């Protein structure tokens, strides 16, 4: 065998770049090669299939003296395909060898025939790299995963519903939106991730003065997430470090992924995408383009619903997806896939210039599916399946965000319909800031008259930031629209919101009256928004302040009908109200039990606002018992989830009076550094 004739070479290629974050894969692959005759490394372009193969065979060669033959199929001219099998068989006959077929997808269907024919040689094992499975008997598929990337830090404010007492206000707290890459971020929180390590190393190669610092760590982490931890893309981005700081690179990547990732290291992500497209069948090309409407991950059902029309039936779309799957990013064990950023950008460009109406039809079907998903999540929440509702909404959040673009073909009305269906995500699951952005952006371009439901939600989200006066014009407009539209449920929710604001302001009697009015107005089966249990919880909070003796604490929190699902979120707030009453009546142990029950629900729903309120009341209980340092630690633990405009916690003046300034600061700082669960051992597990 010789390089001149076919491109097949005996020598293993030199190391392509640093080998970072693949130690586990290297061990697993070495084990497979010791037990299997055909192992295929799959994954999208740039994921690192070739470099993993290089490192594996070099390691095995050094330790076991393995006889390795390397066939670079990506560089093999098509005129050489026909005689390749015979040439390899002749050179490998009688040898105990490992043959690496690098880039099998380049041969199309011929790659499977080549491998199947060579496996007839008794002493031969084959390691193949490919964007497709070979689909021949005896094949073991090893999907090469992306490098590990930092999870997005949570920065979204939460909002209170039902309302807390006036010493507790809306809060700025973690959520699920995109963090600000310009803010300072501890290097220690991201430096251990393989994607960050690779980016840092390659950035120093392009710019010797590059250094990962608290100032750029957030942007580097965001770049690694945006590039899905794909080594090839990370190296291309890091190679621009001499031109752009990480935050600048992130902006340019967002505006033009293909342009930013062009060139460098003899390749570009656009070139990878074009090569992948050439290898696809017409049906696969069409699906590949239509998949670009998905902003995040998708499953088979979503592909059938959105992409299965015209030349692609739902069934044929799923079949094409399964053929393409090895070249996509996959969520292990979840049955979900996604396109890498640059591939999606290239496919979207092709979709936009494809057959007349195909792109518009795909976008419309995607938008309709998003509307159905949002309504399904709202139905689950109303039915008491609140964990499931939250999980569904978060899983589909990238698609829902795209569908809430008021400048898309669906317009602001369609965007607001989805935003209102997701009211619980903005209110109970720590995402008030993001919800406010979606609603206000759509309302700004909606023609008059604006819908009552969206105005109610906008008013509530504005008030959730402590801007109750800023909510007044929206409350007036929403009430007028609700009367005109005959929206009784909206009128009920507006009364509840006025009661919430009254609670914040210490007008407890007004709050109780507004909550009673809301319950009277609310239909038995509202079409949107929270159920009766939430409004009852708000009334219970008001009663806990105006007439504690009227709150039946022995009855426990509301759970709906005995044989029906419980409204967990409402239950957590009633538990909070019961804790207020128990403390008032001199039963601290019972109050603590109620608060711990509330916290279990608040942790499950990611209601960090509720967590802050419950923990501040726990701090009051600790101070009542003379445990002032413990109380200060609890305040510190929720300091990041309180609103900037919140009043000082009720117990804080007591703590400052009982502790020295140094002791208070030390305990408070200790709490701020400690995960909340560690301060509450009763919640362990």
* pLDDT of 175: 34
Q: What is the DSSP letter of 75?
A: G
Q: What is the Cα–Cα distance from 67 to 96, expressed in whole angstroms?
A: 7
* pLDDT of 215: 92
* pLDDT of 14: 65
* pLDDT of 117: 93
* pLDDT of 420: 98
* pLDDT of 21: 80
Q: What is the Cα–Cα distance from 638 to 391, expressed in whole angstroms?
A: 24
CA atoms within 13 A on the CB side of 237: 37
* pLDDT of 15: 61
Numbers of helices and strands, H then E, in the chain:
33, 8
Give pLDDT < 70 ranges for the chain: 1-11, 14-18, 153-182, 263-269, 332-333, 356, 554-565, 642-647, 684-685
Structure token pair of residue 326: 């090895």
Q: What is the DSSP letter of 144?
A: P
Structure token pair of residue 72: 């670079």
Structure token pair of residue 533: 């249990």
The string over 352-383, giving b where at least 16 C-beta atoms fall within 10 Å of a residue's C-beta and e elsewhere, is eebeeebbeebbbbbbebbbebbbbbbebbbe
The CA dihedral of 124, 129, 135, 140, to the nearest 10 degrees, is 60
Structure token pair of residue 590: 């019972």
Count other C-beta atoms under 10 Å from residue 170's C-beta: 30
């Amino acid at each position: 065998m010789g390089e001149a004739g076919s491109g097949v070479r005996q020598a293993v290629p030199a190391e392509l770049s640093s080998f970072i974050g693949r130690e586990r894969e290297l061990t697993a692959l070495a084990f497979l090669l010791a037990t299997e005759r055909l192992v295929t490394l799959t994954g999208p372009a740039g994921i690192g299939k070739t470099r993993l193969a290089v490192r594996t065979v070099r390691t095995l060669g050094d330790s076991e003296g393995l006889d390795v033959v390397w066939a670079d199929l990506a560089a093999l001219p098509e005129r050489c395909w026909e005689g390749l099998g015979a040439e390899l068989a002749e050179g490998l006959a009688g040898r105990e060898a490992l043959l690496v077929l690098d880039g099998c997808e380049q041969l199309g269907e011929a790659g499977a025939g080549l491998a199947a024919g060579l496996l007839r040689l008794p002493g031969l094992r084959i390691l193949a790299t490919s964007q497709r499975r070979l689909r021949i008997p005896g094949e073991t598929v090893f999907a090469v995963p992306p490098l590990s990337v930092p999870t997005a830090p949570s920065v979204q404010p939460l909002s209170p519903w039902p309302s807390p007492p006036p010493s507790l206000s809306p809060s700025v707290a973690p959520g699920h939106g995109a963090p600000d890459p310009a803010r300072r971020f501890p290097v220690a929180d991201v430096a251990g991730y393989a994607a960050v390590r690779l980016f840092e190393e390659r950035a120093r190669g392009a710019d010797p003065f590059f250094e990962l610092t608290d100032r750029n760590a957030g942007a580097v982490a965001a770049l690694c997430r945006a590039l899905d931890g794909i080594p090839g893309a990370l190296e291309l981005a890091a190679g621009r470090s001499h031109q752009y700081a990480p935050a600048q690179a992130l902006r340019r990547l967002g505006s033009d992924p293909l342009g930013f990732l062009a060139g460098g290291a003899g390749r570009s992500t656009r070139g990878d995408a074009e090569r992948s497209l050439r290898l696809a069948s017409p049906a696969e090309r069409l699906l590949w383009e239509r998949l670009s409407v998905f902003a995040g991950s998708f499953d088979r059902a979503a592909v059938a619903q959105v992409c299965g029309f015209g030349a692609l039936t739902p069934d044929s779309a799923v079949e094409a997806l399964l053929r393409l799957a090895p070249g996509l990013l996959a969520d292990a064990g979840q049955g979900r896939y996604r396109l890498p950023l640059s591939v999606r950008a290239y496919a979207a460009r092709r979709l936009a210039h494809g057959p007349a109406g195909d792109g518009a039809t795909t976008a419309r079907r995607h938008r309709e599916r998003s509307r159905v998903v949002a309504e399904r999540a709202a139905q689950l929440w109303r039915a008491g399946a609140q964990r499931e509702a939250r999980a569904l909404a978060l899983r589909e959040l990238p698609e829902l965000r795209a569908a809430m673009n008021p400048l898309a073909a669906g317009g602001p009305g369609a965007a607001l319909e989805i935003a209102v269906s997701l009211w619980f995500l903005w209110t109970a699951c720590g995402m008030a800031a993001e919800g406010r952005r979606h609603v206000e952006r759509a309302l700004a371009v909606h023609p008059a008259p604006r819908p009552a439901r969206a105005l109610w939600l906008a008013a509530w989200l504005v008030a959730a930031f402590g801007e109750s006066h800023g909510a007044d014009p929206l409350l007036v407009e929403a009430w007028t629209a609700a009367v005109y539209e005959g929206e009784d449920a909206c009128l009920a929710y507006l009364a509840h919101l006025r009661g919430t604001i009254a609670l914040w302001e210490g007008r407890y009697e007004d709050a109780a009256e507004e909550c009673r009015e809301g319950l009277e107005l609310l239909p038995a089966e509202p079409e949107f928004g929270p159920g009766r249990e939430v409004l009852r919880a708000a009334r219970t909070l008001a009663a806990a302040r105006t007439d504690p003796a009227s709150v039946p604490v022995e009855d426990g929190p509301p759970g709906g009908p005995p044989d029906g699902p419980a409204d967990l979120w409402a239950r957590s707030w009633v538990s909070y109200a019961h804790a207020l009453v128990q403390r008032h009546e001199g039963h601290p142990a019972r109050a603590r039990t109620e608060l711990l029950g509330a916290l279990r629900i608040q942790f499950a729903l990611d209601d960090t606002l509720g967590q802050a309120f419950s923990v501040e009341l726990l701090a009051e209980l600790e101070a009542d018992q003379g445990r002032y340092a413990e109380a200060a630690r609890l305040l510190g633990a929720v300091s990041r989830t309180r609103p900037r405009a919140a009043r000082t916690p009720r117990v804080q003046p007591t703590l400052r009076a009982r502790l020295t300034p140094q002791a208070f600061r030390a305990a408070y700082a200790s709490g701020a550094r400690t995960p909340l669960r560690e301060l509450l051992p009763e919640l362990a597990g």
